[in-house]
Structures are given as C-alpha cells and as structure tokens.
Structure 1
C-alpha cells in the first residue's frame, strides 16, 4: 500500500471519528466568544472612558490664508482622511502626503461659538499647551464651558478676582453651596409640593365623583363638599408656605455669578447656579482624576438625564427596565405554567392539542412590533378605556389606564414571552418519569396532590429556564414598548410616597429605548455617542444579572430535586 493510500485511510478514519466537527465547533465557539468579549471591551472603552477628566488643550489653529483662531478643547478622536476629500471640501492644504490626520475636538462654549465639536487638521495646530489653570465648567444647560476663571460676583458685586490666590477655592465653596441649595429646592418641588399637588388632584377627583353620584342626598353631598373644601383650604395654605420657602431659596441659589474668559479673550458672565461640576483637569493628580471618574460614573447611574438625554444620568431608565421585567416575570410565569400543565397533564392528546402546540410555537416567532400593535389596540384602547369608564369615571375624559403605561407594557411583554415559558415548561414536564406519578398515585395521593408535590417541583428548573429565556428577550425589546408605555423622558418614578405608592398607570423610561433615542434622535450626535456605548453596556450587564439570578435559582432547584429523579 502506498503512502498516499495510508494517508487517505488515516484521514477517512479521522473523519469517521467525528473530529472535524469537534474542531469546527471549537473554532465556532472560540470566534463567538472573542466577538462577544471584543464587543464588551469596545462598549466599555468607548462608553466608560467618557467619564475620565480629559486634558484640555490650548493652541492656535492656523489655516493657510486665514486668520489664526485660538482653540481650547478636549481631544476626542483622530483619523486619517484622503487629501482629495479635504481639497474637495475647500481646504487649501500644501502637502505631498496622500492622507492627512485630523482630530475631533470638543470646543464646548456652545452659547458663544454655536457648536460643541469641530474637526481640525492636526498639522495646523500650533503652540499647543496644557495650562493648569484651564477650567472646565459642566453646566445644567448649554453643555461644557472652557476658559479661565477671572472673578466671582455676589449680587452683582465683585468679591474676588484672578489676582487673588484663593479665587479657585472660593469658587468651589460657592459651587458646593449652590448645589446644596439646589437639592433643597428639588426636595421641596418634587417631594413636598409634589405631594400637595397629588392630594389636590385627588380632592378634585373626589369632588367630581360626588357630582356624578346621583344616589347621595343633598345634605350628605353638602357635608362631603364642606369637608373637601376645608381640606383644600389647608392644602392651599401649605402650598403658599412652600412657595414662599422656594422663592427665598431661589434668590439665594441665584445669588452668585462668575466671569470666564475664553481662549480667544472673550468674557462671559455665568451663574454659579448653573454649574454641575467645575474642575481643572490639567492640574489634577492621578488620585484626583480617579476620584472624579468614580463620582461621575456614580452620577451616571443615580441621576436623571438632562440636555435632551445627552448629559446627566440614566437611573429612571435603569429603574423602569428592571421593574418592567419583574412585573412581566410575575405575570408570565403562572400563566405559562398553568397552560403547560393543562396541555401536558389534563388535555386529551389529539389533533386539537397538536394544533394548539403548533400555534404556540408559531407565536414565538411573531415580530414583536405586532404584539405592540395588539397591546395598543386591545389593552389600551379597549380594556383600559373600559376600566376607566368602570373605575375612574370622575377622571374622564383624561385617561387613567386608557393610555400607555407601565402595566400595559408589562402585560404586552408577558404575552410576547408566554410561548417561550409554555414550551420550556411542557418539555420539563415531559422529562419527568411516569413511574414517579404512578408511585404517588399508588400511595393514595390524588392527581392534583401528585402534580403539586411531585411533578411541579421537579419541573421547576425547566420553568426557570423558560423564565430566563423570557427575561433575556423582554429586557431588550424596544419596538412594542414605543407603543405601549415607554417615553423619551419620565424623571418621575412609578414608585413614590403617594398612595397607592406603586403607580402602574405611569409612563416610564427604558434602557433600550434610551439607546435608540440618544443614538438616533439626539440633536447633538457627538455628545451623545459615548452615552450610547455606556448605556448599551449597562443594558447588557443588567440583563446578565437578571439571567444569572434566575440561573442560580434554577441550579439550586435542580440540586434540590435531583434525588427524586434518581
């Protein structure tokens, strides 16, 4: 036998052992794992790097034939572009290179220059320096401001200037003071006055309910109205006190201002009340930068969004995503389990049962937007409108449940994920040995007792598997939520201190829709891009945490009932 025949025979035996498929599967798993890890690293670097205090560069931007322009900015990214692209755009560039490097820099000062970001050609940046006294002001509106702190004013009178060595420390003290006042104002507006407004609205609805109730006698109607009027007068008095406190706080909050000078020499007077953060990145030590980074990251996780969702935090979106998934899980699990138990344990196995199973499997493949349209038409326009007529007639024509909200979003996603739970639970029930059921029945247990004490506990890992798949799909859905409850901005959480404390009728924010809105609907694309990466990674982390929790519970149940299977 020749060497060729030996090699051919060895290769055939190697193929028959299935080793090519083993290596192919291993390669596929490796590539998939590297792709996932690479994606997560990309999201982490591009997203979480946004919170690091970047150095501020000052230079002169000198284009051929144009007046030099003083630039103070943060470097965002660099890229090489063909020289023909810049020449066609009107740039007069004298170079023999085929590619030219350009930089995207964050200029800030949008209320002065009109643009936050600008592309500049690297070779025309001259006299680059990083002055330690360059100040970055992060504002509640109009984005960042870059410049030099010149002086501080109190009620229009200058109290300190750049000639004094303590101007920066004095500025920080007044920023901290303004931040404390802002928190007091926010507490009164959202807490105390919000509670009063909520009670006033309830009184209005109570008065309306009395007018609609024809069974009340005239004397009883007058008595109730008098009680409501007295309560309204008490609330109005409290409201006036709160308004007076707010007026005083606002005057103190807006007391101070400061003068900033831009790189081009222009001056601008700004209110300290508008400052969120003020820092000098070029003069910060490594420890100060790390501390600032974690403070900004904590703000991102715990604060409300601002500036058309391109600044601030995303806590309302995190809360809305988690609470919607939890409500959806509470709804879908019992319905899915009951349906699976009926199909497997009680329904007569025949043509009709097979048709139902085929229908359930097909429902799992229906596009999610179809569920959104169904939820809008049935749950909101029909069921919600009927609930308003029966339970909240005093609020009409303003809808209570006849409008998109947290409840209908959760119900819609529960309906969307119901086929997954049914199929997974039914497969788990099918794997339970028949002799366990027969042994339980032989010992005198009824079918219901056997089902409750033997079958369902052993099938609980399969139920958890269905729930895991449901959570993984529902948490990332966006299309149906756009129709049944999610909105661009809803800083008020559906949980508060007002009875009934948990408001299922409220609209809410969602991380998936937040990514879509910031990434594709933002008026400031460059400013929003890092938040898209950070929010996307955070959504992945939250879904992973929810899944890991369900997996841990499933593994615990599997170990607990493993002895019964043996």
Structure 2
C-alpha cells in the first residue's frame, strides 16, 4: 500500500490534478464575477413592468419589482418557511423622500399591471411613476386625461430635448469659444503688463477686442434666456397612484414610456436605445443618472498617453540593462530595485506624482511659460498628463521585466549573424533584435494597460475629478489639452458607489460602469494582443 502511494505521489499525477483544480476554481470565480456584473449591469437598461399594489390600509404603490426575501424571524409552526416581503422601486423621490420600499406579501390585497401607467425619466429627482392628468401650454389646457396626453406627449418631449441640445451647443461652443477668446486676450494684456508695457497700440487693440467679445457674449446670453423661457412653455400635471399631483415643466422630462403597453420588439429597441444613451450621454444627478461618456473618454485617453510614455522608457532601460550594461553587482542591484518597484503601493506613486510632476515640474512650467496666468495654475495642478505619467512610472517595471525576458529569448545566432554581416551593434539592436523581441514587449504593455486602467488611488491626487463634462479635446489650439482634469471609470465607480447621496438608487449605475470598465480593458487588451500576434507572424523566430 505504501509503495502504491509513493508511486502515485512520485508520478506527479496529484500535482497535475491540483493544478487543474486551481485553474478551474480561478475560472469559476472570474466567470462568477463577470456573470454577476453582467446580470446586474445589463438588466439596468430593460424597461421593467410596472406593478400597482393595493394594500390592506387602502393605500397603493406603483413601481418596479426589485427583489423578494424571507422576513427574518417570521417562521411559525403554521408557516415554517416564514413570511416574505418584496422590494419595490417606487421612484417619485420628491414626493416620498425615498426610492425603494419593502412591502409584506400579507399586506397586499390586489396586484395588477395597468397598461396606462407611465415612467417619466427626469433630469432631476430620478424617475416618476404615475399618470398624466393635464398638459398645459401657457394658460391653455391641451390635454385633460392620460390617454389624450399620451398621444401628444412624444413630439413635445422630442422638441424639448432638441431645445436642450441647442442650449448645450450655445453654452459649450459659442459661449465657450467667446470665453476662451476673452481669456486669451486678458492673458496677453497681462503678459504685456508684466513686461512693463502699459500703454501701446497692441494693448488698445486687445481692449477693443475684449469689448467686442463681451458684446457678443451678452447677445448669446440673451438668446440663452429665450431658449430657457421656451422650455417653460409646457407644463405637465402628473399624478401618482394615490392621486397626489406634481406639476413639472416639460423641459425636465428626458423620456416617457409605457412599459406595460410595449411588445417584446419595442422593449428590445428601447433596451438598445438606453444602452447607447449611457455610452454617449453625460452624467446627471450626482453621477447616478445619465451617461458615462466623459469617463470612458478620459479612461481611454489616459491609457493611450500612458502607453506612449511607458513603452520608450521601459524598452530603452531594458535594452541598456540587457545589451549594454556590464553585468555586475550594480546591475543586479538595479534589477532588484526594479522588481521591488513593481510592488510599491499605488498611492505612493500618487503622492510622488503630486509632489514631483504637479508641484515641481508643473509649477516650474507655469513660472517659465505661463506667468501671466498666475496665481491660477495651468500645469501646476492636477491634469490628465500628470496622471498618465504617474501611471507610466508605476507600470514601467512591468515593461522592463517583460522586455528583458523577451530579449533573453532572442537566439544568440541572430546577434552573431547580424554582426558577421557587417552591421553595427546599434543596427543589430534596431533591425534584428527589437523586431524579434516586439511580441514580448507588447506582452509587457498588455500587462501594464491591464493594471493601469483600473487604478484609482494615484489618479485622485493627480487629476481625476468627480465631474468634468468638458473633454480635454476641442477645436482650440493645441486641441488636446493635457493640463485639464478628467473623469475616469474607476473613480466613477468609487464615487457613485460610496459617495453618492442615494447609494441604493445608484447601485445599477455602479454595475453598469463596472461592466463598461471591464469591456474597455478587454478592448484595449484585444487591440494589443492582435498587434502582438501580427508581430509574431511577421517574425516567426521571436519567442512566444
């Protein structure tokens, strides 16, 4: 028996089974997390059925079913499983002061799903569940019942949304351009005054320009006031399931749906429409409503800038350590330091980035090139450039180690053959060894991107903010403004999940943002993997 056990252990079969079990367990955990995120995230976009509950006390509830559970300590000899209760999203936060309510199943007298109840997505205070009592235009009642109002409501909402787009275009583009030109003219005047020039034709011309721009600004402000007044032309008188009225300007409505009256095809189209809105719109309601496009853009832009910064430095450092440096105690110490640097907590890099990049480098740049803007900093404050460089510094050890391993895997014959044909060492490095090592370099980049995309702690110190709807990319020179602050999906998850004033209502947005973050990481990695596979096919002699 002992011989059989020893033979089994020495054969390595047990080790193989343990490795297989560990891999299977890891895959199950990863799959479970992804399924949890997908179910809770993707389910957020589906137009759920609205149920109207009549309770024993005569009151009514209208909302979406969000879950069911057994009431703790409710088991009795007659009912050993215990009583149950359901969780309803009742919305109407401005009327009830809460978004969710638990209801005991025993208190429910009747349950129905009326086809005429509606979901109103509002720009403030979340959803409103109920019916329309009146549609008023000025002093004229255009509709006095729910059915009539539903017929005329969709085009009115579409017109109001178009007005919001016009207002947004006027504020961001036209008024934004004027504000930019005013600021540039003011800074030019300030720069001349710093040089001791207080009276010159150039200053006079700039002052004339400022006066003209201020007049244009006032004209746009008047146009903006007129558009805002048009948004208040229509008023909806809504009523909840208990008869409580709520007057609401039509401009506060983003969308109105009757989910109980929708077929499966219409619900699928609405699902795709809601999914696209989250990807393309800006946040609302303390980031708990609306979309996450600025966070997606900021995350991708930060990773691209980080990749551009980390690859050259990491590859050059690895080439020097592997190909040029004399192997000895100093090089071994440097390698140990690089390996240890990969294990430093990310918040330490954030503190370093704040002190070195933001205050030291950015403050020096402001004093040398932007003195007219001081004391308001330009580069001496957090921005997407400093956040990207901080993450590049954090991930450069990964690129160095991966590049060194890839260089070690290049056959020695390649080097000797290149040198034997008359190439210099630099030419051999550039045209033979680097292409062969490129797949391994891209592997290091993949690992760096995977780590950097989800980092939050360093970004909180070096440039990420809760809300920055203005993208760091526009039509003003230099077009890509690396000094601006930005939004990030990882920080968005933290902010919505833990800093939101209404955490329960924000949970769906947490799962949605997490799902999008995972998809962004996968997309970036797939792009790098596709490039790596192309390089492997091109240079078949490269080590995998």
Q: TM-score, normalised by structure 2?
A: 0.96
- Secondary structure at 1:480 match in 2: helix
Q: Name 2:113's counterpart in structure 1.
A: 130
Aligned equivalents of 1:146, 1:423: Cα separation in 2: 57
The ranges of structure 1 where at least 4 consecutive aligned residues each deviate by more than 6 angstroms after the TM superposition are none
Q: Name 1:193's counterpart in structure 2.
A: 175
Cα shift at 1:565? 7.6
- Secondary structure at 2:66 match in 1: strand
Aligned equivalents of 2:251, 2:391: Cα separation in 1: 43
Cα shift at 1:269? 1.2
Alpha-carbon distance change, 276 to 13 in structure 1, aligned in 2, over 3 angstroms: same
23-32 or 185-194: bigger deviation: 23-32
Cα shift at 1:188? 0.6
Cα shift at 1:546? 0.7
Cα shift at 1:308? 0.8
Q: Name 2:249's counterpart in structure 1.
A: 271
8 A Cα contact 2:409 2:542, kept in partner = no
Aligned equivalents of 1:498, 1:169: Cα separation in 2: 44
Aligned equivalents of 2:349, 2:38: Cα separation in 1: 33
Match of 2:267 among 289, 294, 304: 289
- Secondary structure at 2:106 match in 1: helix
Match of 2:390 among 412, 417, 421: 412
Match of 1:390 among 357, 368, 373: 368
Q: Name 2:219's counterpart in structure 1.
A: 241
Cα shift at 1:68? 3.3
Aligned equivalents of 1:94, 1:250: Cα separation in 2: 64
CA shift digits 1:46-92 (9 cap, x unpaired): 11101111111112233xxxx4322111111111131369xxxxxxx
Alpha-carbon distance change, 114 to 95 in structure 1, aligned in 2, over 3 angstroms: farther
Match of 1:474 among 452, 460, 464: 452
Match of 1:44 among 38, 45, 66: 38
* Structure 1 residues 526-565: aligned runs within 5 Å: 526-563=504-541
Match of 1:78 among 68, 82, 99: 68
Alpha-carbon distance change, 346 to 168 in structure 1, aligned in 2, over 3 angstroms: same
Cα shift at 1:348? 1.1
8 A Cα contact 1:82 1:98, kept in partner = no
Cα shift at 1:377? 1.1
- Secondary structure at 1:526 match in 2: helix
8 A Cα contact 1:369 1:480, kept in partner = yes
Aligned equivalents of 2:282, 2:21: Cα separation in 1: 44
8 A Cα contact 2:409 2:543, kept in partner = no
8 A Cα contact 1:56 1:72, kept in partner = yes
Cα shift at 1:157? 2.1
Q: TM-score, normalised by structure 1?
A: 0.93
- Secondary structure at 2:483 match in 1: coil
Match of 2:102 among 119, 123, 126: 119
Cα shift at 1:305? 0.7
Cα shift at 1:230? 2.4
Match of 1:206 among 183, 188, 191: 188
8 A Cα contact 2:194 2:372, kept in partner = yes
Match of 1:55 among 49, 52, 58: 49
Alpha-carbon distance change, 312 to 68 in structure 1, aligned in 2, over 3 angstroms: same
Match of 2:500 among 518, 522, 526: 522
- Secondary structure at 2:83 match in 1: strand
Cα shift at 1:337? 0.6
Matched, 1:149 2:132: yes
8 A Cα contact 2:439 2:542, kept in partner = no
Paired residue total: 544
Aligned equivalents of 1:365, 1:84: Cα separation in 2: 50
Cα shift at 1:563? 4.3
8 A Cα contact 1:83 1:98, kept in partner = no
CA shift digits 1:136-184 (9 cap, x unpaired): 1110001111111111000132112117x53212011211111111111
Consecutive unaligned residues of structure 1, counting only runs of 5 or more, are 86-92
Matched, 1:19 2:13: yes
* Structure 1 residues 429-444: aligned runs within 5 Å: 429-444=407-422
Aligned equivalents of 1:416, 1:492: Cα separation in 2: 27
Aligned equivalents of 1:476, 1:160: Cα separation in 2: 51
Match of 1:459 among 428, 437, 442: 437
Aligned equivalents of 1:446, 1:14: Cα separation in 2: 56
Cα shift at 1:366? 0.4
Cα shift at 1:98? 5.5
Aligned equivalents of 1:28, 1:108: Cα separation in 2: 45
Consecutive unaligned residues of structure 2, counting only runs of 5 or more, are none
Matched, 1:362 2:352: no
RMSD: 1.9
Q: Name 1:88's counterpart in structure 2.
A: none
- Secondary structure at 1:377 match in 2: helix
Aligned equivalents of 1:285, 1:73: Cα separation in 2: 19
Alpha-carbon distance change, 564 to 459 in structure 1, aligned in 2, over 3 angstroms: closer
* Structure 1 residues 212-223: aligned runs within 5 Å: 212-214=194-196, 221-223=199-201
Matched, 1:171 2:153: yes
8 A Cα contact 1:83 1:97, kept in partner = no
Cα shift at 1:434? 2.2
